[in-house]
Amino acid sequence: MLEAINLTCVRGERRLFHDLNVHLERGSGLFVQGPNGSGKTTLLRVFAGLTPPCGGAILWNGSPIQVARDHLRRELLYCGHLIGLKDDLTAIENLVYAAALADEPISDAIAQDALKQSGLYEIADLPVRALSQGQKRRVSLARLCYLRRSFWILDEPLTALDDAAAQWVLDRISWHLNEGGTAIWTSHLPMFLAGSIRTLQIGS
């Protein structure tokens, strides 16, 4: 599904990673680890087709990412380190808005169900600016409940989450992999998941 061949990335005069190779099939996951500044976010952006590598190639279903970019975008759910919510909209409105942008419109009822699954049902009608950082993170991650995308890229999804919310994220990733999806994620925290999961250490 996704293959990286001899990836190299340089920031300024510093080489973040070099000759990096990854091969992911459907139903498999990649856990990227490394210290701050090691290039984890940059690597995820390269995998998502948002940042070009300095060297090497990315293949999506056997085709260069430059050729398969439109297909990749239809299959990709990217949750970046920034939460990406509109403070003046409610949690429900943010999810409905995000779904419309992804060309997968949903009803308020579906948005409410996603928030319920993520443990946020009681704050569904509050403006996002009134929520804690952990609640904002969960609103953003509630997209995992309804966007039908086969390829997830999650940058530090456990940031600001309590233990129960973190476990919910792990359960969603496990469900996605069991359903034949593919996922790549980063975290400073341990993430124990069953299944076909590879750990990639960079910057060490």
Q: Residue 152 has what pLDDT?
A: 97
> By CB neighbour count within 10 A (0-12 exposed, 13-18 middle, 19+ buried), where does 80 fall?
middle
Helix orientation angle between 133-141 and 163-178, rounded to the nearest 10 degrees: 10
Look up tokens 């070099």; give the residue.
18
Give the SS3 label for residue 87.
Answer: coil
| CATH topology assigned to domain 2-201 | Rossmann fold (3.40.50)
CA nearest 166: which of 143, 184, 187? 187
Predicted local confidence at residue 187, as pLDDT:
84
The pLDDT score that the predictor gives to residue 188 is 77
Classify residue 18 by its DSSP letter: E
Q: What is the pLDDT of residue 21?
A: 94
pLDDT at 114 (0 to 100): 95
Q: For position 190, what pLDDT does the model report?
A: 73
Q: Do 157 and 185 form a contact (C-beta atoms < 8 A)?
A: yes
DSSP per-residue codes, 120-177: -GGGTTSBGGGS-HHHHHHHHHGGGGT---SEEEESSTTTT--HHHHHHHHHHHHHHH
Beta strand 2-11 with 14-24 is antiparallel
Report how far residue 59's alpha carbon sits from residue 23's, in angstroms, rounded to the nearest whole number.
Answer: 9
Q: Give the list of residues 6+ apart from residue 70 with CB closer than 8 angstroms, or none.
A: none
- Count Cα atoms within 13 angstroms, Cβ side, for 28: 13
Task: List all residues 6 or more positions away from 138 whose beta carbon is below 8 Å from its beta carbon.
Answer: 118, 119, 120, 161, 165, 168
Q: Which three-class secondary structure state does DSSP give residue 20? A: strand
The pLDDT value given to residue 83: 86
User: Which regions in the chain score pLDDT beneath 50?
Assistant: none
Task: Kindly report the pTM of this predicted structure.
Answer: 0.92
Cα dihedral 164, 166, 170, 176 sign: positive
